[in-house]
Each structure stands twice: as structure tokens, then as C-alpha cells.
Structure 1
């Protein structure tokens, strides 16, 4: 597994998103033993970059990683996120990146993760009620105290990124980016490169759609992120199936799986990008990490890059309101 730099932080070029082990999908949280085996297998395959958040569960996913990494903490770069849960009484559903809330959040994450420091601590979504300078100032204090090594932002827009970076270096921005979600290429990605900030794409497989395994939306139950998601419904779904089929065509040419091709395309976009495909199964982490060895031709990359955009928004309206672009 090759490594890259996110700012001054070295990580494996492909990471592991742990969210789905506890949160967000139809069968999340149903097989903890397999999830732990998946984490251990990822480490064996050279994955050093693991991603979670306090809101996943909530809290259950951090607890899971803490147990899975006992005796292995020094093998990983551990990333988690704050800000989707208020610890100052703003109430459920209200973002809170106030310094007081961050102080409570970090202590909880450290305890659950069974560690004395977090390698990469992200603001999960921009808090409209707390100036980013105050948030980053509080994070800078945590860096000075050794509780946090590097700071990050998630789904932040260019102005927020620039203002945050002026207070303290931002190592990485985590945003949805894949063959079917490319909105940050126009404004966000150029700024990240100007400021030497790494990009961590989440949902790099289109929440499973780009693997070609999803041919119907009927199996998504209430509580699954994809249930009622605009990209997984009606005519949008049928349009997007054709995109998945195009990826499968390239995969056949490259003697790889569609998931590997989707990840290889992302890796070909630059040496400052470290996608975090999520899975809770050993077989899938083996498939995903093997994408590091897939070499697409220039023609294949161009063909994938020229695919039309996916139909439908990435989130329902409430989720979109939390995202800057």
C-alpha cells in the first residue's frame, strides 16, 4: 500500500470508513465480530487510515474502533469528527462547534477510542452559529495540549476553508467525491491544492451504487441512508444504473471490479487524495484495498471522466443545507 501526505500527515493511500459498521445502513450494527475482523484485515493489508465520528451510532462506532484497536493503536492514523452533537444544550439536530462543546466532545471521543490523542480531528459540518475562527482556535489549543495532532474540516466551502487555514493549518478536508459526485472540482479542489490541504473523499463508491451490485432500491429499509435518497429513487435511479454499467464496462477491460475501477479513478486524480471506502466485510476491504494496484490507461481515465453527472441530489434537502460547496 502506497502512502501519501495530507498536509503534513502521512496516511495510506486508501483508508477505511467505519461508519457503516454501526450506523446509516440497513444491516449496520448487526455483526460486530465481522466488523472487527474487517478492521484487523485492513491493517494486515497496509491500511493505516481509519475514519469514524461521535455521531455514528451515536458513539457506538467510536466504541467499536476503540475495542478493535486495543494493542494496535500505534499502527493507525485515527480520524474522528465532532460538531453534529451539541454538548452545550442546543438540542438534537443542531450543529455545535463552539469551543465549550468541542472540549466535551474531544474528551468523550478520547475515552471511547481508548487513546490519549486523535491524529486527525474534523469539524463534521460547518456550524452557522460559531465563527470558524473560534472553532479552529479551540482546535489549535487541543493541538498544543497534545490531544489532537492535526485538524480537518468536512463539507466546508472555499471561504470557510481559507478562513480556517489562516488560524491554524488544516491538514485535510473530507467531502463526498466520486465518479458521480464531482461538484467540488470547480472551486474546492483548486483551493485545497493552493493551500496544500489533502482531500479525503467519503462515499467514493457512491454508497455502493458504483459497485454495480445495486440493481433495485426495494431493499433499503427505513433508517438506511439510501431509503428515499434522491439518487436512489424513480427515474434518477434508472439513469444512474447506466452510469454504473459504464463503470462495469471499463472494469471488464481493466480486469478489475467496478469498485476497484471507481477507486482507481479517484487515485488517478492526484497524490493528495486518500479515499475512505466504507465496509463492514472482510471480502470487501480486500477488494477495495487491491485498487491501489489497478493501473487505468489514459483512455480509460478519460472515458470515466467524461461520464455525465449522476441524476438527483446526494442528500435530501435537510442534509444539503448542512453542506457548503
Structure 2
């Protein structure tokens, strides 16, 4: 496994991570035993960056990771997040809440420290300086090693970084989700912040495994995301087929090609999966090297804004449908 050093830190991590959200619902049925086995296999493959959050399964995901890492804590880099209230019912960035949230995460994870602690979303009602100031106190106290932000604006990133060095910014980023390229990516590169790409396969769509809407389980929140619906779905399958053609010529899978593309663009991808088969496939993407000509060809078949349908649904719809699929 290849490694890299996180921005503004001495934290060395694998060049690809593992997103754990899907192990606690959202994308169909889950199995804790299967998920723990997958986490253990990730460690065997040298994947050290394991990404969770207190909101995933309302604490279940952190507890799951804690069980998986019992006796293996030193093998992993734990990244977790706070800010969302249970069931995505709101956002809280108040300093008192930060201190409460970290203690609850530490308890669920069964660890004395968190390697990378994110503000999951910036609270519009609390200045980011106040939230990051409280996060900096956690570093001073030894509960957290390094700080991150998720889905923050360029302005918020700069304001936060002025209070305490920010090591990473996490955003959705893939061949189909490139909104951050205009302003946010230049900001993090200027400040030496590592960019973490979640959903680097557009929630599994670019893998090519999904061919029709009915492939999604009834309790899969992707059913409510625009790019997975109606005519958008069929048009996006056509885009995947073009990516697949290039992948076949490269002797790799569409997933590996798309992950190699994110790494070639400076990001550290954290694709999520519950299954060892896809974990191993994704891990092998670190050895796929794309030439300048290949990058140009990928851009020609999958240019910016080519995808049909948005990547998100509004917050209230997301909360309502997430509750529906997890009930």
C-alpha cells in the first residue's frame, strides 16, 4: 500500500481509505460481522485511514469500529466527525457541544484519542472560529491529534485555519462531482491542506454494478437522490459504459479508473464498502497510473457537469428518507 503524509501534520496514512458509513444503514442491509471482517481485511491490505462519524447510525458506526479495532488500535488512523444532531435533525457547532461530542465519540470508539477530528458541517449560527477554537482545545488536551473540516466554504476554511492548522478538508469529489474545483481546491492547495474525497465513485454508480433503478434495495437512500432516478439513471449508465471502455483498455475496472483519477487530481479517496470483494478491488487502484493522454481521454468522455441529476437532496428530504430506510 502506498502512503502519504496529511497536510500540516506528521500523520502518515494510506493513499486510499475506507468509508464506513454504509456499514450502518443508508445503502441497504448491513451485517456487523461482515463489516468487521471487511475492516480487518482493510488493515491487512495496509489501508489505515478508517472514516466514521457520530451521526452514522446515530453512534452505531463508531461502536462498530471500536469493536473492530479492539486489540488493533495502533494499526489504524481513526477519523470521525461531529456536528449533526441525531437523525440529522440539526447542526451544532457550539464549543460546549464540541467537548460533549468528543467524549461520547471516544467512549463509543473505545479509545483514548482520535487521530483526525472533523467538523462535519459548519454551523451557520456559530462562528467557525469559535468551533475550531474548541476543537483546538481538544488537541491541547490530548483527545484529538489533528483537525479537519467537511464540506466547508473557501472563506470558512481560511477563517478556521487562522485559528488552528487544518490538516484535511473532506468533500464529495468524483468524476461526476467536481463543483469544488473552481474555488475550494485552490484554497486547500494554497494552505497545504490534504483533500479527502468521499463518494469518489458517486455512491457506487461509477462502479458499473448498478444497471437499473431496481438494483437498489428498498431501504437504500440512493433511491431518493436525483442522479439515481428516472431518465437520469439510464443516461448515467451510458456515461459509465464510456468510462468502462477506457478501463477495459487499461486492464482495470471502472472503479479503479475513477479512483486513480481522483488520486491523480491530488485527492485521497475514501470509497465505502461493506464487502471484501470491492475493498480489494478499490485498494488495487493505488497501482493504476494514468498518463496525461489518458487523463485527457477520461475528461473527453466524462467532462465536468456531464452527469445527469444532482448529487444531493435537500436536508429535510434526506432526513425523512434516511429515517424511512433505517426504520
TM-score computed with the length of structure 2 as normaliser: 0.92
Contact 1:254 1:296 in 2 (8 A): no
Mean Cα deviation higher: 258-267 or 214-223: 214-223
Match of 1:274 among 268, 274, 291: 268
Q: 1:44 aligns to what? A: 44
Contact 2:212 2:234 in 1 (8 A): no
Q: Deviations over 1:248-307 (max 9, x none)?
A: 01110110111111101111112xx21100001111111100001112232221111232
Q: Distance in 2 between matches of 1:209 and 1:69?
A: 30
Q: Distance in 2 between matches of 1:134 and 1:184?
A: 25
- Secondary structure at 1:227 match in 2: helix
Q: Distance in 1 between matches of 2:33 and 2:108?
A: 18
Q: Distance in 1 between matches of 2:256 and 2:312?
A: 24
Contact 1:20 1:279 in 2 (8 A): yes
Q: 1:300 aligns to what? A: 294
- Cα deviation, residue 243, structure 1: 1.5
> Which residues in structure 2 correspond to 1:54-133 (within 5 Å)?
54-85=54-85, 93-133=89-129
- Cα deviation, residue 85, structure 1: 1.4
- Cα deviation, residue 319, structure 1: 7.2
Q: Distance in 2 between matches of 1:128 and 1:219?
A: 37
Contact 1:153 1:174 in 2 (8 A): yes
Runs of at least 5 residues in structure 2 that lack an aligned partner in the other structure: 320-327
Q: Distance in 2 between matches of 1:69 and 1:76?
A: 8
Contact 2:171 2:196 in 1 (8 A): yes
Q: 1:155 aligns to what? A: 151
Q: Distance in 1 between matches of 2:252 and 2:283?
A: 12
Q: Distance in 1 between matches of 2:261 and 2:316?
A: 26
Match of 1:313 among 307, 310, 313: 310
Q: 2:223 aligns to what? A: 227
Q: Distance in 2 between matches of 1:214 and 1:319?
A: 26
TM-score computed with the length of structure 1 as normaliser: 0.93
- Secondary structure at 1:218 match in 2: helix
Q: Select the structure that is richer in helix.
A: 2
Q: Distance in 1 between matches of 2:80 and 2:185?
A: 22
- Cα deviation, residue 76, structure 1: 1.0
Q: CA RMSD in A?
A: 1.7
Q: Distance in 1 between matches of 2:299 and 2:89?
A: 36
The structure-2 alpha-carbon separation of the partners of 1:98 and 1:197, relative to structure 1 and needing over 3 Å to count, comes to same
Q: Distance in 1 between matches of 2:268 and 2:182?
A: 19
- Cα deviation, residue 222, structure 1: 5.0
- Secondary structure at 1:215 match in 2: coil
- Cα deviation, residue 321, structure 1: 11
Q: Distance in 2 between matches of 1:260 and 1:10?
A: 23
Q: Deviations over 1:204-229 (max 9, x none)?
A: 01111001110111243454221121
- Secondary structure at 2:93 match in 1: coil
Mean Cα deviation higher: 235-244 or 127-136: 235-244
Q: Distance in 2 between matches of 1:83 and 1:122?
A: 9
